[in-house]
A and B are shown apart, each in its own frame.
Chain A
Amino acid sequence: MKIVVCVKQVPDSWAEKKLDPADNTLDREAADAVVNELDEYAVEEALQIQERLGGPDSCTVTVLTMGPDKATESIRKALSMGADDAVHVVDGALHGSDAVATSLVLATAIQRLAPDLVILGSESTDARMSVVPAMVAERLSWPQLTFAGKVDLEESASTATVQRQTDYGYDVVSAPLPAVVSVVEKINEPRYPSFKGIMAAKKKSVETLSLADLGVAADDVGLAGAWSGVDSFAARPPRQAGTIVSDDGDGGLRLAEYLATQKFI
């Protein structure tokens, strides 16, 4: 069994994010970079599946990242959690890639790695589109088992079943492997890297691939190859300062009065 976990490096989700006025792309220097939070859940799920299947001899976990040189920090984090090795697609031409191009690069790298299962976070905290897992599945012609709150693998590891989160509860969805899984945060509690894990990660193999290595044309990615683009952006005008009152025993009544003047009641 071979699992690939896709990990994206993003600006710290607790920091204010900005666009770079030079080319309207995300300013990745403006905030500290971290592993996309939901991708940590993806790594954890892969590691738990590995443990259930009997450890690294029967199941390997490979981290796949597309991103600038700096993204090696995120790769090391995933490796120190316990992943076995990593592939880093890094190429100057990738800057400004949209989701469609990102899915092309990831799917091409996944084909080369030929895993049984791909696990991703269900969205990144920067772009928040939630489209890459479905796009990767479409490109690979693999079934998608996305927005999983629970993943079960059959004994034979030939079928995966997930609880897909929905607005009304969840759907139980099954598919034969290979398949693409995306996870939501309720699925597990990601482990913290141990000291031993951090030391071991330094020795693990990280293969670096360029677009040429993958056979992806530079024209199909990056800002120039994007199929959508930002015309302009602006800071949201600040909201007008509101009325704040202290509850002196009539807070609820004053709030009701306000809602009535605004015609909500």
Chain B
Amino acid sequence: MSQVLVLVDHADGEVKKVTLELLTLARAIGDPVAVVVGAGAAQAAAALGEYGATAVYCADGDGFADTSVTPSVATLAQVVSELGPAAVLIPSSIDGKEIAARLAVRIGSGVITDAVSVAPGLQAEQSVFGGSTLVTSRVTHGTPIITVRPNSTPPSPAPTTPQTVDLSVTLSDTDRAASVTDRVAQERTGRPELTEAAIVVSGGRGVGSPEGFAVVEALADSLGAAVGASRAATDAGWYPHQYQVGQTGKTVSPQLYIANGISGAIQHRAGMQTSKTIVAVNKDAEAPIFDLVDFGVVGDLHKVLPQLTEAVAKRKA
């Protein structure tokens, strides 16, 4: 059976959920081979085997920690040339898409980004134009490189005992030319990552102020959800830019999306329209967001959300 490379998204060996989704997807195409770049490979191996990785290729070396993107490109290029896999699957993140981009040029392959599903024949489905159009595409040249959005496939375990292979990968001077001198983390919220979260609670113009986001955050915390914001809210400086959901921000596809005080302009819809269940709270009964919702409440979010948060807490108690 042909092999399918899966680039592992991890933080010091702690494997992110999207990787388990990609391994699950890869099993329908061929034998999943996990590729772990950077420190923590040994720690990652067990989780990867749990989800069906038949082999775990690990690479870490000089300069790997001092730059981003290029160590993964160099490693994947080497594994592609050694194994000649059927495809390379990469998580659709900022780094993931850039890794796919450089790898495509380096190994002379076509690339598809933001797939929401990949068929065994490697046809990728994408949701484009703000979620209004579904496109089926395929790579027609080289080793197909496909980046896949988080939350596209429910991860399901299929335990194996993977063989671990340590690679020796040398970065070229070009690959090392951009150096990371500092990694600055904004305050840790303890909430799940926006693009990976099963539930996202977002606030927009209707939230009214930075302080207004307290009710949005309280609801998110009662549900164990991530917090998002519309561009109106991030442009106004009410909420940090990295939480922006929409055309020029993050694209999310959670099980449940709760839009609060968000009108639902195309800019925002582009980032959340593929959510499984959509709920909205908005004062304006005419807001276009209500065209998308499974359940909507016309009302003041500053009254509805605290009541909902309290009800959630009671039901969970």
Query: Contact residues of A with B, CB < 8 Å?
Result: 13-19, 24, 37-38, 98-100, 103, 123, 125-126, 128-135, 137-139, 141-147, 149, 161, 163-176, 179, 184-186, 226-236, 239-240, 242-247, 250-256, 258-260, 262, 264-265
Question: Given the complex, which residues of B lie within 8 Å of A179, measured CB to CB?
Answer: 177-178
Q: How long is the Cα–Cα vector from A163 to B309 in the complex, in angstroms?
A: 36
Decide yes or no: A247 and B304 within 8 Å by CB, A16-B266, A172-B181, A236-B134 being known contacts: yes
Decide yes or no: A138 and B134 within 8 Å by CB, A244-B293, A264-B223 being known contacts: no
Residue in A closest to B179 when the chains form the complex, CB atoms? A174
Q: How long is the Cα–Cα vector from A212 to B69 in the complex, in angstroms?
A: 33
Could you list some 8 contacts between A and B, CB below 8 A?
Answer: A128-B128, A161-B181, A226-B110, A236-B127, A239-B278, A239-B291, A252-B303, A264-B256
Evaluate contact between A135 and B180: CB separation under 8 angstroms: no
Chain A CB count within 10 A is highest, among B101, B105, B270, B293, for B101
Evaluate contact between A175 and B179: CB separation under 8 angstroms: yes
14 extra interchain contacts, Cβ-Cβ under 8 A, other than A236-B134, A264-B255? A14-B266, A15-B266, A37-B248, A100-B105, A128-B128, A130-B101, A146-B98, A174-B181, A184-B248, A228-B111, A231-B136, A239-B294, A242-B290, A247-B304
Evaluate contact between A173 and B195: CB separation under 8 angstroms: no
Q: How long is the Cα–Cα vector from A126 to B67 in the complex, in angstroms?
A: 30
Question: B312 contacts the other chain (Cβ, under 8 Å)?
Answer: yes
Evaluate contact between B184 and A171: CB separation under 8 angstroms: yes
- A110 shortest CB reach to chain B, Å: 14
Question: Given the complex, which residues of B lie within 8 Å of A99, measured CB to CB?
Answer: 101, 104, 111
Q: How long is the Cα–Cα vector from A159 to B296 in the complex, in angstroms?
A: 52
- A252 shortest CB reach to chain B, Å: 3
- B259 shortest CB reach to chain A, Å: 12
Contacting residue for A135 out of B105, B241, B292, CB 8 A: B105
Q: How long is the Cα–Cα vector from A171 to B135 in the complex, in angstroms?
A: 34
Residue in A closest to B305 when the chains form the complex, CB atoms? A252
Contacting residue for A175 out of B178, B281, B299, CB 8 A: B178
Evaluate contact between B135 and A251: CB separation under 8 angstroms: no
Evaluate contact between B69 and A166: CB separation under 8 angstroms: no
Decide yes or no: A164 and B68 within 8 Å by CB, A103-B105, A175-B177, A244-B293 being known contacts: yes
Report the count of interface residues on B (CB-CB < 8 A): 93
Residue in A closest to B187 when the chains form the complex, CB atoms? A169
Q: How long is the Cα–Cα vector from A92 to B295 in the complex, in angstroms?
A: 49
Evaluate contact between A134 and B306: CB separation under 8 angstroms: no
Question: Given the complex, which residues of A lie within 8 Å of B133, measured CB to CB?
Answer: 17-19, 233-236
Chain A CB count within 10 A is highest, among B266, B267, B278, B281, for B266
Question: Given the complex, which residues of B lie within 8 Å of A132, measured CB to CB?
Answer: 101
Residue in A closest to B297 when the chains form the complex, CB atoms? A251
Residue in A closest to B113 when the chains form the complex, CB atoms? A129
Evaluate contact between A144 and B178: CB separation under 8 angstroms: yes
Question: Given the complex, which residues of A lie within 8 Å of B256, measured CB to CB?
Answer: 259, 262, 264
Question: Given the complex, which residues of A lie within 8 Å of B141, measured CB to CB?
Answer: 227-228
Question: B78 contacts the other chain (Cβ, under 8 Å)?
Answer: no
- B188 shortest CB reach to chain A, Å: 8
Question: Given the complex, which residues of A lie within 8 Å of B193, measured CB to CB?
Answer: 167
Chain B CB count within 10 A is highest, among A135, A141, A234, A253, for A135
Question: B60 contacts the other chain (Cβ, under 8 Å)?
Answer: no
Evaluate contact between A253 and B277: CB separation under 8 angstroms: no
Q: How long is the Cα–Cα vector from A194 to B115 in the complex, in angstroms?
A: 42
Evaluate contact between B174 and A141: CB separation under 8 angstroms: yes
Question: B307 contacts the other chain (Cβ, under 8 Å)?
Answer: yes
- A62 shortest CB reach to chain B, Å: 23
Residue in A closest to B124 when the chains form the complex, CB atoms? A228
Evaluate contact between A171 and B180: CB separation under 8 angstroms: yes
Q: How long is the Cα–Cα vector from A144 to B291 in the complex, in angstroms?
A: 41
